[in-house]
Amino acid sequence: MTVAIISTGGTISSISDEGTGATPELEGSYLVDSLPVLDRGPPIETCEFANVPSAYLTIEQMSSLTEVVQEYSRNDDLTGIVVTVGTDVLEEVAYFVDLCYGGPTPDEYRDDCGSRELRA
């Protein structure tokens, strides 16, 4: 069984930039590859949905994100779906997707800061 990781950008995908402080540039596949602990788990499929500062996510993008989550949820070969979202709008995106999503209810929404610690 595979886990899908849908990357949207935000804090977790950012690198230091002297001019602006941080810029989202890392793709979800890079984040997965940078965490060797994930090699011990199920196979991972990444989806590069967006790579923007989380505060820049629009309602239209959140609606499209919901559609992507719904599409993945119809795949019986998936164990789970993870959406990486920056901390600026984590709750708002989770709430929006929860309201608009018509599939099975996820077990939890959370910001797993451990992945950033491992990357650092």
- The DSSP call for residue 40 is G
- The separation between the first and the last C-alpha atoms of the chain, rounded to the nearest angstrom, is 29
pLDDT in tens, the chain (120 residues): 899 999 998 888 888 877 777 888 888 888 888 888 888 888 999 999 999 988 899 999 999 999 999 999 999 899 889 999 888 888 999 899 989 988 776 555 554 444 444 444
Domains, the chain: 2-119 (3.40.50.1170)
Asked if residue 41 lies in contact with residue 115, where contact means CB atoms within 8 angstroms, the answer is no
Answer whether 0.85 is exceeded by the pTM.
Answer: no
Residue 105 among the catalytic residues: no
C-alpha separations of 63 from 1, 35, 57, 73, 81 in Å = 27, 29, 10, 15, 16
pLDDT at residue 37, as a whole number: 83
